Structure 1
Amino acid sequence: MTPRRYTSVEEDSGRWTRFPFRDGDIVVSTRSKSGTTWMQQICLSLVHGTPDLPAPLSELSPWVDWLVESEESLFARLARQPGRRVLKTHTPLDGVVLDPGASYVVVVRDPLDMAVSMYHQGANLDRQRVAELSGRPVRTPPPRPELPVWLAAWTRAEADPVASTDSLPGVVRHTADACARRGAGNVHVVRYEDLAADLETQMRRLADLLGIAVAASRWPALVDGAGFAAMRAAADRRVPDTRGVLRDPQAFFRRGRPGAGREVLA
């Protein structure tokens, strides 16, 4: 079945139909601000056996759909990377080629928390820089109201879940699609809240699902390196931004624990 194509000013999921997979590839598929970078760090740490990665996270695990880098450059760079690779996408799995030799990890998060994080992230983006890199017009969103008003409106908006993937219907659809595919054996769903509650248990579970053996002595360093404090402290190497798209890299790791949405809305 031909994957559904998702496009925006900055993304084109059509790249997946041309991407040359390698057995062992790990695709991290999440909605925006749902633990993408966290899961990339976890998977890369498991693959490399250390939290101290040989290159910045976004170089090792690029966003395949993002138009700021040409397809030719991206594919060539990934072809030079040895061993198992970790790839990023915000595209639901019905828009990604499901290669039998690859594994797909979908992180799902409380939609209210995701929306709060997305609200704050919008103020941290340098949209002029994104336009320069992608060769597209500057995409300036309209002024937003204060967070409580914006979040309440976000929960009520009736949006097309395919055309508006970061809407509440879009978030729910992404999650439901992934959960329906878990029986395939190479699709794994991880809850953000479970990672926050017991990171080590979830990392061990994921290592088993991905068929990665980890020496007992390595676990403390791997878990510590994937914790929020370590991620924020190493923001210069862990944020998904090597091209100056974020105004403040450390602000990308804003909170790191569940519950923000329910603190805003009664």
Structure 2
Amino acid sequence: MLAPAHRYRSDDEDSARWIGFPFRPGDIVISTRSKSGTTWMQMICAVLVLGTADLPAPLTELSPWLDWLVEPRDTVYERLAAQPHRRFIKTHTPLDGVPMDPQVNYVVVARHPLDMAVSLYHQAGNLDRARLAELTGQPAPTEPPRPRPPLEEWLPGWIHRETDPRAELDSLPGVLLHLNDAWARRHEPNVALVHYDDLLTDLGGEMRRLADRWGLPAPGPELVEAATFGRMRERADRLAPDRLGVFRDRQAFFRQGGSGQGRSLLNETALAHYETRARTLAPPDLLTWLHR
């Protein structure tokens, strides 16, 4: 097993919680950036592994977010140790922050950064920050949140903002750092990359590809249907990653799930700036795949 090269920490996450985790052969680690298809991939793994659309527990219990600080590490470890089935575990940590075990499968979902940023903007307005602070032992907010600019003004600022990518993983540099690392590993036999747009256009094909790669039975039409974005939205109470009351509205977590909105919000100058900035942060072959 390769030890992580980096440690990622924030107010509510710490990738060091992976160190010492007792993997089992066949475990699946789902590594994505925020709002890039994490819950979608968790549901895909759930129906592929369990072979049913009727999940025996809420998705967040079946597939815990191991490095989230809202629960003690030992509690999460114990829950995973008690699972008799093949395990599928969530993280927002890039693969260079997770132990790499040759007997474990890793899957990274990539989404166009502009679409991810739009979803991130909307999710920020749906978070109960007082509840999040309570769960992570942080001081409760004492002032109301500052009004945010409209999305059309916020998005160009997100593109332009200079930041340390390892400290701000949901920035544009952070998103592309995560994907650069995964892209460099794409030929490794236990690392799979999935494009969010492929889940939109050929969900069944992508599910069959992953099932074949992981040695699982190919899903029938009913399992593919259960993993569609629309059906997941209908079951938000069971599938939204919020068993502890962090979201103001669970239904709003599954807001849209579409593709192309980010680009449509930018004028030609702002879009050209995004493309120029992206070229400084990622290699051409990754961007060609990511932006298609």
1:263 positional shift? 2.0
Secondary structure of residue in 1 paired with 2:187: helix
Q: How does 1:148-163 map to 2 (within 5 A)?
A: 148-163=152-167
Equivalent position of 1:252 in the other structure: 253
Among candidates 180, 196, 217, match of residue 192 of structure 1: 196
Secondary structure of residue in 1 paired with 2:66: coil
Normalising by the residue count of structure 1, what TM-score does the alignment of the two structures yield?
0.96
- Any conservation in 2 of the 1:94–1:177 contact (CA below 8 Å)? yes
Normalising by the residue count of structure 2, what TM-score does the alignment of the two structures yield?
0.88
Equivalent position of 2:227 in the other structure: 226
Equivalent position of 1:74 in the other structure: 76
CA distance in 2, matches of 1:254, 1:192: 15
1:143 positional shift? 3.4
Q: Deviations over 1:107-165 (max 9, x none)?
A: 00000000000000001001111111111223686432110111011111111111111
CA distance in 1, matches of 2:161, 2:23: 37
Q: Percent identity, aligned pairs only?
A: 60
CA distance in 2, matches of 1:235, 1:130: 19
Equivalent position of 1:207 in the other structure: 211
Matched, 1:121 2:123: yes
1:176 positional shift? 1.1
CA distance in 2, matches of 1:177, 1:11: 19
Among candidates 150, 172, 177, match of residue 168 of structure 1: 172
User: 1:205 corresponds to which letter in structure 2?
Assistant: R
Structure 2 gaps of 5+ residues are 268-292
Q: Deviations over 1:30-73 (max 9, x none)?
A: 00000000000001110000121110000000000100000111
User: 2:220 corresponds to which letter in structure 1?
Assistant: W
- Any conservation in 2 of the 1:47–1:84 contact (CA below 8 Å)? yes
- Any conservation in 2 of the 1:41–1:51 contact (CA below 8 Å)? no
- Runs ≥4 residues deviating over 6 A: none
User: 2:261 corresponds to which letter in structure 1?
Assistant: A
Equivalent position of 2:285 in the other structure: none
Q: Deviations over 1:199-242 (max 9, x none)?
A: 1111111111111123xxx5111110011111000000000111
| Count of matched residue pairs | 263
1:183 positional shift? 2.0
Q: How does 1:1-266 map to 2 (within 5 A)?
A: 2-3=3-4, 4-138=6-140, 142-214=146-218, 219-266=220-267
